[in-house]
C-alpha cells in the first residue's frame, strides 16, 4: 500500500531522452516545490508513491523549496522505500535562498553537498544551476559542473531560468573544455507563457539540451477553476499571489488570457478531459519539449494531472490551442525575421 514502503512495479509511462546525451525520462516529471509548505510530509510521500505507481521516473526538487524541507522529505521517502532509488531519477537545484548565494563555484559546491546530505544520497541524477546572477559569468561554472560529474556527485548537469544565449554559451564551453554535456534546461512554459519560443527553446534544441517545463498549468490558471471577472476562491494559489508574481489576478485577468482559457475549455470538453489535462498534453507535445513538470498541493490534484500522461490531443486540437495562445510578436527582431523568412521577392 502507498506509504507502507511497497515498491511494486507500477504502470509504464511514455519516455523521452533528455537532450542529446541525457537519460530517458518519463513524459511527465514531478515537481516538489510544495513539500514542506502547502503539502505536509505524509501527503508528500503519498504523492511520490502515486507518481511512481503511474510510471513516473523524474523527481525534481531544489534546495530553496521549503528552505531545504523538500529535499529532506524526498530523502526520507527514498530511505523508507527499499529499491525505489534504482527506479527513479532525482534532480535538484542550487543557487538561491541561502546566505552568500551566487553563481560562484565555491557557493555551488557548498549548496550541492548540503543538498546531497538532505536527500541522503551520494549522487543525484541531475544537478541544475537554478539561475544566473548579474555579477558572475556562466564561464565560471564550467569547471564546477565538470568537477561534480567527475567526483560522482552528479550523473548529469543542467540549468534553470537561463537566457537562450547563456544556454548556448555554456553548452559550447563544456564541449570545448572536455566537460560533461549540458543535458537540460528548466524553464517556465505554458499556454500563457510562450515568449521562450523566440530564443530559449530553439537555443536548447540547437545545443542538444532537453527542455523541462515548470508552470505548465499557468500557476493554476489553466485548470479551469477560475472564471472571468470572478475573484479567485479564497485559499487558491492565485488568491494568495503577491502583486509581483506572474499569476497575480490583476496581471492575468485580461481578455487575452480568458480567450485562451475559453478555447482550452472547448478542446478539453471535446476530448472528455479537464482543461488542466488538455493544457498538459499540449505542453508535452510542443516542439523541443522533453517533459512538463507537474506539481500539486494534494494527491487528488496530482492524480488528475497524471491521468493526462498518455493523452495526445491530435493536430487539430493542438493547432487550435497554439493559434489561440500565440503571443504578439515583438516587431524587432522577431517580427522582421518572420517577414524575411516568408518573403521571396514577389
For β-strands 15-17 and 24-26, DSSP reports them as antiparallel
**Within-domain flag for 232:** yes
Percentages (nearest 5) of helix, strand, coil residues in the chain: 45, 15, 40
Verdict on whether the full-model pTM lies above 0.75: yes
**C-alpha cell of residue 342:** 516568408
Catalytic-residue membership of 332 = no
Q: What is the CATH number of the domain that holds 88?
A: 3.20.20.100
Instruction: Encode pLDDT of 240-288 as tens digits.
Output: 555 545 555 556 667 899 999 999 999 999 999 999 999 999 999 999 9
**Within-domain flag for 209:** yes
Its domain, for residue 65, covers 15-341
**Within-domain flag for 5:** no
**Within-domain flag for 8:** no
**Within-domain flag for 346:** no
**Within-domain flag for 206:** yes
The residue from 51, 65, 189, 226 that is catalytic is 65
pLDDT along the chain (346 residues), means of 10: 45 94 98 94 98 98 93 98 96 83 88 97 97 82 96 98 96 97 98 95 97 95 83 60 54 81 98 98 98 96 97 98 92 82 52
Q: Identify whether the C-beta of residue 216 lies closer than 8 Å to the C-beta of residue 321.
A: no
Supply the DSSP string of 179-222, one letter for each residue. Answer: ---EEEEEEE-BTTB-GGGTTHHHHHHHHT-EEEEE-TTGGGGG
How many structural domains compose the chain? 1
**Within-domain flag for 88:** yes
Residues with Cβ within 8 Å of 45's Cβ and at least 6 positions away in sequence, in order, are 2, 3, 73, 76, 77, 80
**Within-domain flag for 83:** yes
What is the total residue count of the chain? 346
Amino acid at each position: 500500500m502507498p506509504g507502507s514502503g511497497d515498491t511494486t512495479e507500477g504502470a509504464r509511462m511514455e519516455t523521452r531522452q533528455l537532450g542529446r546525451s541525457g537519460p530517458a525520462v518519463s513524459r511527465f516529471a514531478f515537481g516538489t516545490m510544495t513539500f514542506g509548505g502547502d503539502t505536509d510530509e505524509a501527503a508528500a510521500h503519498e504523492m511520490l508513491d502515486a507518481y511512481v505507481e503511474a510510471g513516473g521516473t523524474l523527481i525534481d526538487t531544489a534546495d530553496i523549496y521549503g528552505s531545504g524541507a523538500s529535499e529532506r522529505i524526498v530523502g526520507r521517502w527514498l530511505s523508507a522505500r527499499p529499491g525505489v532509488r534504482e527506479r527513479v531519477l532525482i534532480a535538484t537545484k542550487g543557487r538561491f535562498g541561502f546566505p552568500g548565494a551566487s553563481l560562484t563555484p565555491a557557493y555551488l559546491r557548498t549548496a550541492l553537498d548540503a543538498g546531497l546530505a538532505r536527500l541522503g544520497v551520494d549522487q543525484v541524477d541531475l544537478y541544475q544551476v537554478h539561475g544566473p546572477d548579474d555579477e558572475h559569468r556562466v564561464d565560471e561554472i564550467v569547471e564546477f559542473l565538470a568537477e561534480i560529474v567527475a567526483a560522482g556527485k552528479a550523473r548529469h548537469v543542467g540549468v534553470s531560468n537561463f537566457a537562450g544565449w547563456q544556454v548556448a554559451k555554456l553548452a559550447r564551453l563544456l564541449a570545448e573544455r572536455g566537460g560533461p554535456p549540458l543535458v537540460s534546461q528548466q524553464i517556465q512554459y505554458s499556454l500563457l507563457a510562450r515568449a521562450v519560443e523566440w530564443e530559449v527553446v530553439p537555443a536548447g534544441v540547437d545545443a542538444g539540451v532537453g527542455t523541462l517545463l515548470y508552470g505548465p498549468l499557468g500557476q493554476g490558471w489553466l485548470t479551469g477553476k477560475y472564471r472571468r471577472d470572478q475573484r479567485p476562491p479564497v485559499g487558491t494559489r492565485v488568491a494568495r499571489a503577491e502583486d509581483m508574481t506572474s499569476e497575480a489576478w490583476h496581471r492575468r485577468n485580461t481578455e487575452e488570457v480568458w480567450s485562451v482559457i475559453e478555447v482550452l475549455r472547448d478542446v478539453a470538453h471535446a476530448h472528455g478531459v479537464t482543461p488542466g489535462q488538455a493544457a498538459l498534453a499540449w505542453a508535452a507535445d510542443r516542439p523541443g519539449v522533453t517533459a512538463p513538470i507537474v506539481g500539486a498541493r494534494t494527491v487528488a490534484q496530482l492524480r488528475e494531472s497524471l491521468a493526462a500522461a498518455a493523452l495526445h490531443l491530435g493536430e487539430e486540437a493542438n493547432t487550435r490551442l497554439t493559434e489561440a495562445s500565440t503571443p504578439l510578436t515583438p516587431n524587432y527582431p522577431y517580427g522582421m525575421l518572420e517577414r524575411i523568412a516568408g518573403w521571396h521577392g514577389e
